[in-house]
Amino acid sequence: MKYFVKMQLALNEIKARLENKKGQGTVEYLMMLLVILVVVIAAGAAFKAFMPDLFDKVKAKIFGGVSQM
């Protein structure tokens, strides 16, 4: 019976922490950042798949500029 009471108290504390609005803004900002990163990575992969020549040309210009320094 004591075990059940301890579990109920622990569950109540977890529930109270989840319902706490403090810090919710940070979590929302991190979730938005994660969504933006996923979109950017997906867009980059799509562009690379459809335009490999463009990426090769840009890479060659960057390495060419670096080697001239």
Q: For residue range 5-60, list pLDDT tens digits in order.
A: 777 888 888 777 777 666 667 788 889 999 999 999 998 888 777 777 887 888 88
**DSSP at 23:** T
For residue 14, what pLDDT is reported?
A: 78
**Are the C-beta atoms of residues 48 and 55 closer than 8 Å to each other?**
yes
Name the residue with tokens 């109540």. 12
**Are the C-beta atoms of residues 45 and 52 closer than 8 Å to each other?**
no
- Kindly state whether residue 52 falls inside one of the protein's structural domains: yes
Q: How far apart are CA 15 and CA 2, in angstroms?
A: 20
- Kindly state whether residue 5 falls inside one of the protein's structural domains: no
- Kindly state whether residue 41 falls inside one of the protein's structural domains: yes
For residue 12, what pLDDT is reported?
A: 82
Q: What residue numbers bound the domain in which 25 lies?
A: 21-68
For residue 66, what pLDDT is reported?
A: 74
Q: How far apart are CA 9 and CA 38, in angstroms?
A: 39
Q: Which residue has the higher pLDDT, 27 or 61?
A: 61
